[in-house]
Structure 1
Amino acid sequence: MQARRGITLSLRHLLILLTAIGFLPLALLGTWGLKAAGDVRQREQDRSMLELARALSSAVDAEHDGAAAALAGIAHSPALKAGDLRAFHEVARQQAAAQAEWLGITLADEQGRLLVRTMAPFDVPPPTAVDLPSLRQAIAAHGPVVGNLVRGHSGRYAFPVRVPINLPDGQRCVLSAVIEPGRIVNVIGRQRVPEDWIIAVTDGVGNRVARSREHERYVGGAPSVALQRLMHGGPEGTGDSKTIDGTEVRTAYTTSSRWGWTVVVSAPTESLRYPLMQGAVVYAAGLALSLATCIVLASILARRIVRRIDRLVRGAAALGAGAPVSVGPSRIREIEQMGQALAAAAQQRDRHERERSELLASLERAIASQEEALAEAREAGQAKDEFLAVLGHELRNPLSPIVASLDLMDLRGDPGAQRERAVMRRQVSHLKRLVDDLLDVSRIASGKLTLELHPVDLAEIARQSVAAVAGMRVTLETPESLWVRGDDSRLAQVLGNLLSNAARFGGGEAAVTLRSEGQNARLTVSDRGVGMSPELLARVFEPFYQAPQQLARRTGGLGLGLAIVRKIVELHGGHVSAHSTGLGQGSTFDVVLPLASPAATAPAAAGTPLASGLRVLLVDDNEDAARASALMLRHIGLDVRVAHTAHDALATYGEHTIDAALLDIGLPDMDGYALASALRSAAGGRALRLVALTGYGQKSDVERATAAGFDLHLTKPASLDDLRRALAA
């Protein structure tokens, strides 16, 4: 037998040696991978910080652009164009107050003398403008300029945004917005960055305008020397630097090519390196732990024991997954006991699962039943709202061309059909009132009828409502003014419904009386008509209830007007009552509302006449309504273009100059809300008045129209007077 050569090892030592040799390449590869990952992380961190700096620079540019655009809009003020600096001072002061972080607005001539300064009354002699270089730059550049951060006459830091303008006498001036650094601080504050990162913004000469940390302490100062050296490398870049307080940081900066301001983003070097060091420690610890575990397992585990344990592991996994547990017998007592325990646990689990399944099934049935009932209620409510919206739209749409045609015939002054037109107009108004009553009573039933309460003059509302009554003689007795807290349109609706009721049942005459009684206002509408029986008095305010009528139903109506009156009055905190001494003795309705303090006197707004030759775009897929409305508007001197689809409307707007647009909402290719947004985008900054003219008249429709950019919402049918007011600038 040959003698054995070399070193002989036991199986235990051989397994340990093989384990160590196997882990050596992993350790080397992991170390190289950690270094490579660190380099990649550094490059990604630099790129991310530079992208953040660029994004912030764009946001700062957007703030400057917005301020310049606002100044350009203020420069078109009629007072400034008229050379009335005192009136312009008030306009500029209001505009500055509406802008966040604007200290004020100034107007200076080429020599820097301030002509207007909203930070002080107009009569106070203004000082000389600050930051004269940027003022001269705006004059020379003939365009917007953003100045540098300076300390103004009030001692506060601010920077100017300047726009050159020409006064009516040809004098060159500069209109400036004086803005606090807090506006830029707000831009920084909207960024989601780690708390230990520092973001700073400097102006064109390096003055610090804003800082994410300790802004008040460092505002107006210069960057650190290390940052200044880094920023000499070009308009943007990354590198290591130090903050003003000596903290070592990794920095990315970028300088705006438009305004010359610089955004600096810095992160502490220590916080950037910490994840790399942490990863190295975790990797080393895991590697060492894995090596030790493998050595231990190589020393103590045997194939027979591992095979038995694998059976137990599969049994435990089956127990957790809810599958049947099968563990074979074993000659090792402890493993056998564990197998028996798993089998017992599986039986107990099955019993609990059955009980839990029964409880869940019962709960699911109860929840399903409840959800089904709620779903049915929601669907019913939604179906009702959709039906009423469609009903209002479909009933109002045919009325629109009828009203437009009647207005057009009135404009043409044809006396031959004057009586027939009056009949048609009364019937159209009656049908419109029926539609409004249906929608109002639905809102009342669903609790969606809301009021906009403020002090209103009930005497003025009574005078206007009586003046609007046609075909009936109404006497009015009212004080000069009587104030209540209410919704003026709804109170006018109350009086209108009562007068409409008197017109149908009051014999053509009615009397309206308004007086003060203690802490209340009493509005009385009385007539000498058919009167009411006691049975009718008891139910006169119920919805859809009407007194017995002849088959001809000459008085018409749906029995909703008085029900709406009662609900509106109750929402105002008052009450309404009806009185009659019997049939043929007339009727009296009393509305009692709490008195309120008069509203503060506001200057009356001067009415704006409708300019002749106004260029109007009329968009309606109903060709009859579009044709009639266009003829009516052309008859009063307007230049009208007609389109029946949104695509045609956009094409027409691109080909012609348009001052105002009347848009239907239910268009075949694009709804009116989207069309309004498209027209606003196409108009850019040019003035364009948008009016929604639609059969959808619920409050949600009005709110959606306002959100879409409409200046006014009109519900069909709209009269000529409605269109005149809507198109007036």
Structure 2
Amino acid sequence: MPARPRFMFSLRYLLIMLTAIGLLPLALLGAWSLHQAGIYKEREQERWMLDLARALSSAVDAELDSAIATLTSLGNAAPLQNGDLPGFYAAASALNRHQADWLGVILTDGDGKVLLRTMDTYGAAAPPLADPASLRQLLATQQPVAGQLTRGPGGRLAFPVRVLIAGDQGKLYTLTAVIQPDRMVRLIQRQQVPPDAVIAVRDGTRAVVARSRDQQGKVGDAPSASLVALMRRAGAEGFGNAVTSEGQHMSTAYTTRSRYGWAVVVGRPAEGLRAAAYERMGVYAAGIVLSLLACFLFASLLSSRLVATIRTLQQNAAALGSGAPLTQSPSGITEIAQIGHALKQAEQLRDAREQERAQLLDSLNRALASHQSALADAREAGRAKDEFLAVLGHELRNPLSPIVTSLDLLDMRDEPTSRKERGVMRRQVNHLRRLVDDLLDLSRITSGKLQLELRILNLADVVRHAVAATPGLQIHLSAPDAVWVMGDDSRLTQVLNNLLSNAARFGGSVTQIALSADASHARLTISDNGIGMSEELIARVFEPFHQAPQSLARRGGGLGLGLAIVRKIVDLHGGLVSARSAGAGMGSQFEVVLPLSVPPATELSMDGAAAHDGLRLLLVDDNVDAALSGAALLQLLGHEVRIAHSGTEALAAVRQRMPQVAILDIGLPDMSGYELATAIRREAGGDAVRLVALTGYGQKEDVARAYEARFDLHLTKPASVADLQRATAPFNDAAA
């Protein structure tokens, strides 16, 4: 805490004492004071002009920042982020109509090519850029740029403000606002400056953008030689004498510290400042005598006014901290007036900051509400997607079921005259089933819903079984007796089937399969002598829906999902998959690398289930074709089969004679298969009947719901003969 002064005096007493002490040497002191006052006034004038130039430079930066912020917000809007150029053209045109000083908005790509101009109709040929240098600067520095004043294709003077925007998938765009100089003219007009002052805002080339005097005649003019010399001599900012383009000598202050390289120049007539100094000197000399006589009289009055003014400043300082409005306190004393002006500016800055804070909070609240709404929409879209996939799988698999069953019946009867046709039908049905499975599997994988049932298995057996199940393809297999990995048998089989299907469609006459193992990994290589792949195709071959170029006939078929699913499944197993090719017509090679696992102590028995007698079956399906073909196939397998097409018919058949196995469709017209299963359990008095769900709903949630409804087994349409044999096998075998 500072020490308290030994003596305390009132301001009135001090003024009177000062007058008395200065009475004798007043003449000499007056002359010296006049000289110092002139110097001080000049410095004050210089500082005022420099402060005004700096303030105007900051205001110019703020105007350019505002334009940049507006362009950035426009660039981050949905149309440009989604690559919707017509939509972005509409949004930019709407924004341009609300910007009085904007001539238009220009969008270019990352190479500077003009994509659209709101000054023209969408799609019209764009004229060359009026200021390409600023665009090159933007692309080189990737920082917002304010270009130079240029006359555009329409003949109007304007300056560009440019920003770099990251669009969809990281694509770069540049956004340019073409702004008229009138915006900067109004900025100058808002300043409170003497009428004889001349203010100019100049761009990076120092051409006039806005001028407080003769704007129309001077806009675009280059700086005078004296101003150029002053700027070269004084540096980034300074004060000195210069001559205007009208030939008037001016005391000139300037600054070039704008973030965008622009300059602000403030000038006042030099002769006016000198005349004011001479006038002050004469007035001081004439009034010094009167002041000596009147000083004692006015000392008391002056001190009272000073005290009142100081008290007002104290109150304003306190009000500034508390947020209260300031009281106007005009003063004839320069320093006090400057303090009051500084306090007023501080009040304006405080109010502006408070307003910005309020706007920021409002913007944050709106953004939070928008984010929450977007999350809700995303959850709803995810739910709708899951429902769509479930219905898609059901509706696509339902018609496949009777077709596959009918083919199985034909194969079991094995009529020689239809073998060729059955082979064609079998290949096409398998192809269609694979397309459906690929679509649903890819959705499960990308949404993270695909679950693996990992166990130690012999990869060599998986490969041999997959090769044996691939007729019509000449395959040379090289594999050891056992290669043990930790994996999902069905999913690794799917990987092999997809790679072999790819070889069948795009390979040549022979496919080579080699399985080997090193110290830590198993390596499976599938090679063909088919059409091969380009480097570009190899880079994207594992992307969903990406396929090699095909003719309009699309003899290769497929949706471009098989290899994408291969990569996802291999990734889930902790492995790697890669593709290689020497070029077009040189064949392709795919390699799958999986971590090795410790072999089990004893190998599980792979013998099939023992034969069993025919069973009483109830088959419930509202699809008449599926029911009839399924019943015929089950009868050929040696079972007694009854058919029902609704839940009511099924319950009547159960009450008439209890079946040993009931195979139920889930989507029945009068009740769901889950409800029917509960009713059958109730009629049977427990678990006397084995319940099998045979349905087109095959997602993970559908399987879990079936077991929750006390089904013993869930089968997804179309069911194969092996599936139906599992459904009718002894309970322990079926569960296995």
Instruction: Give me the TM-score of the superposition, normalised by structure 2.
Output: 0.49
Instruction: Give me the TM-score of the superposition, normalised by structure 1.
Output: 0.49
| Larger Rg, first or second structure (1 or 2) | 2
